[in-house]
Chain A
Amino acid sequence: MNPQSAVPESDIAESPVIIRLTDITKSFPGIVANDSISLDIKRGEVHCLLGENGAGKSTLISVLAGLQQPDSGTIEVNGRPTVIGSPNVSMSQGIGVVYQHSALIPSLTVLENLMLSDSDNFWLDKAGATARLHELGELLGAEIDPDMQAGDLGLGQQQQVEIAKAMWKGSEVLILDEPTSMLTPQAIDNLVASVNRLKAEGLAVIFISHKLHEAYAIGDTVTVLRGGKVSGRIDPAEMHAMSEEESKARILEAMFGTNPEAISSDEAEAAGLVVEEQRRQIPADAPVVVQLSDLNTTSRSGEIPITDVNLKIHAGEIVGIAGIDGHGQQHLAEAIAGQLSPTSGAVTLDSKNITKLKVKARQHLGVRYVTDDRLHEGIVGTFSVALNLVLKKVGESPFWKFGRMDKAAVLGEAHQQIADYEIRTPSEQTRAGTLSGGNIQKILLARELSHDPRAVIFHKPTYGLDLKTVYRVRETVRDFARSGGAALLISTDLDELAELSDRIVVISNGRLIGEIPNDGNRVTERVGELMVGSKTDLARTGVAHEHE
C-alpha cells in the first residue's frame, strides 16, 4: 500500500481526465525526442514521469508548457482538442510548470516575481498579490516573505515560490520537473507534504524524476519514458497491489530494458536501487596530502566566500563536501586549485606550503580540479578535442617548443587519452563543444587525472550526465583514491556523497559546519539535518554577503 495516497486508487481510476496526450511526436535534428507518446493525466493524481536524462521528459514538458510545438499528435484539455501554441495558452488552460532550473529572477522580490504573470493588470497590484500569495502559502503549508529578494531565499523556499508562481492563476495541473534534485531530505519532506495537499484539493500533479524511490513514495501512477517512447506504465490499482520491490523492479526494467538480467549492477546502482557496500577503512597513519588552515577568501561578484576553513585530506581518502549549491563550494575548490588567492590562511600539499603558488605551479605538483562548469570553464567549446586535452599545458614542453605547437605530440596525447577514457568523438579534430556532456566530462577527467595527479577536486562530477557515464565517473573517483590519491568530492547529491565518501563535511555559508563519518548509520539524514540546522543562520548572513 502506498502510504501517502490521499485519494483511494479506485477514485483516481474513475476521476476525470484533465489532459490527454495522443501520439505526441517531436524531433530535433538527428534525434526523435518524443516518439508518439500517449498519456492521461487525471484529477487528483500524482503522475510520476520517470526516465533518465535524455529519455524525452524535458521535451514533453516543453510541449505542455507551450515552449515547443509537437510535430504531430494531439492534446486534449478537459476533453477539448487544444493547440498549446505559447506559454500563455498553456497557462490559460490551467497548466503550471515548475522548471528544474529556477525560473525566478533573483534580483526581483518574491512579489515582483509573482506579479510578472499578472499581464491583465495595468498597474502592479501589490495588495492583491500579497493576498493571493498568502492564500497559496496556506494551501502549500509554507510561509513566504513577499518582500525578500528571490535570490536570497533558500532553495526549498524558492521552490515553494515557484510552485506558487505556477499556480498563480489557478492551475489545475502542476508540473514539477525534477523538483528534488537540489533539496535536502527535510526540504523534500516539505515538498511532498505540499504536493499531497494539492492533490487533496483535486489538482493533478505531474512529478518528473529519475529516482525510483521517489516515484514509489509519491506517485499514484507511474509512466516510464525511454528513448523518447513510453516504455512502461503502472496504474494506481497495480501500484496498490505491488510491493515496493516489485514496483521498483518493474520501473527499472522499463527504464533500462526488457530483460532484467541484462541490467548491469552499475546502472541499478546509479539509479539508486542498490546501495554500495561500505567504504574500506583509511589507515589511521595515512599521510595528510592536502591541508587547509584557517583559509579565507573574499567575494568578487556576489558568490559566497569561504571563512576559516580547516580541512585535511589523507592519501587514499575521499572527502565529501555536502551543502546547498552556491554556499562557498566554488571558492573552496578554486582556492585549492589556485584559481583564487586566499586573503588569509594556508594551503599545503604533502606538507609543502603552496599558498603562494598559482594554478600552473600547483598543477605541476599534482593539484587538479575537475570543474562543475564543464562547458564554459572546463573546455573551450570552439577548440578541438585534442587542443582541449592539452589546454592546461599551452606553451609547455613536450607539446610546445619555442612557442610553437608540436602537432605530433599533441595528436599523440589525444589518441592516447581518447582511447584510455573512451571519449566518443568523430575525430580528435572535432570541436569539443559539439560533444555530449558525458564525453566532455571524460575530456576533463582525462586531462586532470593524467601526468601524476596527487590531489583532485571533483566538483559535481556527475551532474546532468547519463547513468553509464555517472557510473564511470564514480568508478574513476574511486580508482583515483584507491591508487593513493587524495580526493575532494563536492556534490549536492547526498546519495552520491554517501556512496563515495569516507567522510562528509557540510559546508554552509562558506563555513565547514560539521562532519559525519560515512559509517552507514542514517548518513544522508544526518547530513541533511546538519544542512537544515544551519538554515536560519544562513538566510540571515547569506543576505549580508550578497549585498557586499
Chain B
Amino acid sequence: MSTSNESLTESSGTKHPQLPGEPGPETLLIETTRKPEKSRLSLALQVLIRTITPVALAIVVAGIIIWTMGIDPLKFYGDVIALGLGGTGWQKTLTMMAPLLIISLGLIISFRAQLWNLGYNGTYLLAAAVVAGTAPDVMQSLPFGVGILVLFVLAFAIGAGLGYLPGLLKAKYGTNEIITSLMISFIAISAANILVKGPFQDHAVTVPQTRVLDLDLMLPYIPGTRIHIGFIIAVVVVVLFHYILTKSSFGLKIDILGASPKAATHAGIDAKKMIIIVFLLSSGMIALAGAIDMLGLWGYMRTNWNPMYGDKILPFVFLARLNPIGSIPLVGFYAVLATGGTIAAQQVGLSVDFLLIIVALILFFMTIIEFMGNRKDLGKSYLPAGLFTRAKK
C-alpha cells in the first residue's frame, strides 16, 4: 500500500529537471498526497469513528443472525451490558481484562515488528497448565511474594521457550513464522493436556484437572473488590511497554524491523537478534497472562479447556493500531462482551461460540473499513504500512 504513491511518482513522470523555486509536478504530487490540515478534534473524531464502526456493524449483523434464530437481539445485548457491567459484572469484566491485556501486549510487540506470532493459544495454555500444576507446591514451600515471582518467571520462560524456535527459524532461515508458530501452538495445547492428565492430575477427583490452589495462596484482591491485583499488574505492564514501544530507541528499532528487515540490517540493527528478542518477549508476555489468570482467577486447570483469548483479542489489537494504551478500552469492551455475553448466551440457549462470530465479523468489517480508508483517505491504516507486502518474507 505504501508503494502506491511512489509507483505513481515513478511511472507517471515527475522527474523533470526543474528550476529551483518553481513548484514542479513532484511538489504538486506531494501536496496532493498530504492530508488536508484538520483540527485535532475532527481528527480524533475520525479515528474514533473508524474504530467504532466495524464493531458497531458486527454487533448489528450478529444481532440479525440471532434474530433469525428466534432470539430477541435487543434483549440479548441488553443482558450482555447488564451482566457485563451491572452488579458485580464490572468486577468480573476487569478480572477478565487482566490476561487479555497482557496477551494483547504480546501480540502488539510481535505485530509491530511485523512478525506473525500466531502461537498464542498454545503458549497461554501450556504456561497456564504448568503454573496451575506446580503452584500448590511452589506456593506452599516459598514465601508468598517469592513464590508468585518464581511462577511468573517460570511462565515467562515457558513462553520464551515456545517462541524461541519460530523466532530462530525465522531469523536464521526465513522460515515462515505463521506456520511454525501455529504448529508450536498445537504442540503446546496437546502438551498442556498431557500434563494435566498426567503428572499434574489431581487423583482425588474423577475429572482430569490439576489440584486446586488455596484461595489465600492466590493473588490477593484489590481491597473492597473481587478483582485480583493481576489487573493492576497488567495495566502497569501495558503502560510501561507503551512507553518502551512508542518512545524508546528499542521501540523504534522494532518499528524499523517491522517496516523493513532489510532497512534494519542496513541501519546496523541486528535483525536476526531482534527477531528472536521480539519472539521471546511476545510469547513470554502471552505465557505470563496464563500465569496471572491461573494465580488470580482460576486456581486450577481442566483438560481440553481453551479460551482462545488470542483469537478473540486479535481484531481489537488491530483496531487499537498496535498501540498498547489504545488497546485498554478496546480490550475492556471485549471483556464486557465476553463476561456478559457468556451468561446471556447460556440464558437463551445460545452456544458461547457466538462470540467467535462477532469477532470474525469485526475482523471482516475492519478490513472493509480499511479498504474504504485507503480509498477515501479516512485517516491512518489499522495495520502498519507494509504489513501486507512483508508478510511472506
User: In the complex, A133→B26 CA distance in Å?
Assistant: 44
User: In the complex, A425→B14 CA distance in Å?
Assistant: 14
Q: Using an 8 Å CB-CB cutoff, how does the interface string of B214-252 with A read, 1 for contact, 0 for none?
A: 000000000000000000000000000000000111101
Among A56, A376, A426, residue most surrounded by chain B Cβ atoms (within 10 Å): A376
Contacts of A433 in B (CB 8 A): 2-3, 5-6
| Chain A: CB-nearest residue to B5 | A434
* B15/A59 in contact, CB under 8 A: no
Instruction: Tell me if B360 is interfacial: C-beta within 8 Å of chain A.
Output: no
Select one of B13, B174, B262 contacting A31, CB under 8 A: B13
| Chain A: CB-nearest residue to B270 | A358
| Chain B: CB-nearest residue to A377 | B262
Contacts of A375 in B (CB 8 A): 3, 6
Instruction: Tell me if B28 is interfacial: C-beta within 8 Å of chain A.
Output: yes
User: In the complex, A378→B6 CA distance in Å?
Assistant: 15
Instruction: Tell me if A320 is interfacial: C-beta within 8 Å of chain B.
Output: no
A262 to chain B, nearest CB (A): 11
Contacts of B248 in A (CB 8 A): 403-404
Interface stretch, picked from A2-10, A143-151, A435-443, A503-511, is A435-443
Contacts of A415 in B (CB 8 A): none
Instruction: Tell me if A476 is interfacial: C-beta within 8 Å of chain B.
Output: no
* B27/A301 in contact, CB under 8 A: no
Contacts of A337 in B (CB 8 A): 266
Select one of B14, B174, B259 contacting A382, CB under 8 A: B259
Instruction: Tell me if B197 is interfacial: C-beta within 8 Å of chain A.
Output: no
Say yes or no: A52-B2 contact (C-beta < 8 A), given A394-B269, A436-B9: no
Contacts of A392 in B (CB 8 A): 266-268
User: In the complex, A378→B267 CA distance in Å?
Assistant: 8
Contacts of B31 in A (CB 8 A): 30, 426
Instruction: Tell me if A520 is interfacial: C-beta within 8 Å of chain B.
Output: no
* A383/B259 in contact, CB under 8 A: yes
Q: Using an 8 Å CB-CB cutoff, how does the interface string of A47-90 with B read, 1 for contact, 0 for none?
A: 00000111110110010000000000000000000000000000
* B263/A466 in contact, CB under 8 A: no
| Chain A: CB-nearest residue to B389 | A376
Say yes or no: A58-B13 contact (C-beta < 8 A), given A380-B263, A403-B248: yes
Say yes or no: A339-B266 contact (C-beta < 8 A), given A31-B25, A31-B29, A403-B250: yes
- What is the total of A-B residue contacts with beta carbons within 8 Å? 162
* Residues in A374-416 with C-beta less than 8 Å from chain B: 375-383, 391-392, 394-395, 400, 403-405
B352 to chain A, nearest CB (A): 40
* A436/B249 in contact, CB under 8 A: no
Contacts of A122 in B (CB 8 A): none
* B249/A394 in contact, CB under 8 A: yes
Say yes or no: A466-B17 contact (C-beta < 8 A), given A358-B270, A377-B266: yes
Contacts of A465 in B (CB 8 A): 15
Instruction: Tell me if A467 is interfacial: C-beta within 8 Å of chain B.
Output: yes
Q: Using an 8 Å CB-CB cutoff, how does the interface string of A345-377 with B read, 1 for contact, 0 for none?
A: 000000000000011100100000101010111
* B13/A394 in contact, CB under 8 A: no
User: In the complex, A226→B6 CA distance in Å?
Assistant: 21
Instruction: Tell me if B342 is interfacial: C-beta within 8 Å of chain A.
Output: no
Contacts of A31 in B (CB 8 A): 8, 12-14, 25, 28-29
Contacts of B174 in A (CB 8 A): 301
User: In the complex, A394→B264 CA distance in Å?
Assistant: 11
How many chain B residues touch A (CB < 8 A): the figure is: 47
Contacts of B32 in A (CB 8 A): 29-30
Say yes or no: A376-B256 contact (C-beta < 8 A), given A54-B15, A426-B30: no
* A227/B16 in contact, CB under 8 A: yes
User: In the complex, A437→B10 CA distance in Å?
Assistant: 8
* B17/A468 in contact, CB under 8 A: yes
Instruction: Tell me if B350 is interfacial: C-beta within 8 Å of chain A.
Output: no
User: In the complex, A276→B305 CA distance in Å?
Assistant: 76
Say yes or no: A376-B263 contact (C-beta < 8 A), given A59-B11, A436-B26: yes
B32 to chain A, nearest CB (A): 4
* B249/A400 in contact, CB under 8 A: yes
Instruction: Tell me if B378 is interfacial: C-beta within 8 Å of chain A.
Output: no
Instruction: Tell me if B78 is interfacial: C-beta within 8 Å of chain A.
Output: no
Instruction: Tell me if A464 is interfacial: C-beta within 8 Å of chain B.
Output: yes
Instruction: Tell me if B141 is interfacial: C-beta within 8 Å of chain A.
Output: no
* A382/B384 in contact, CB under 8 A: yes
| Chain A: CB-nearest residue to B393 | A301
Select one of A267, A376, A436 contacting B14, CB under 8 A: A436
* A363/B268 in contact, CB under 8 A: yes
* B247/A394 in contact, CB under 8 A: no
Contacts of A394 in B (CB 8 A): 249, 252-253, 256, 267, 269
Say yes or no: A54-B253 contact (C-beta < 8 A), given A30-B28, A382-B386: no
Using a CB–CB distance below 8 Å, which chain A residues touch chain B? 28-31, 33, 52-56, 58-59, 62, 226-228, 256, 267, 301, 337-339, 358-360, 363, 369, 371, 373, 375-383, 391-392, 394-395, 400, 403-405, 424-426, 430, 433-439, 464-469
19 A-B residue pairs with Cβ-Cβ distance under 8 Å, sorted by A, are A31-B28, A52-B17, A54-B15, A58-B13, A227-B16, A339-B265, A359-B265, A376-B262, A379-B263, A383-B259, A395-B249, A395-B253, A434-B6, A434-B30, A436-B26, A436-B29, A437-B10, A466-B16, A468-B18
* CB-based closest 3 A-B pairs: A54-B13, A466-B15, A395-B249
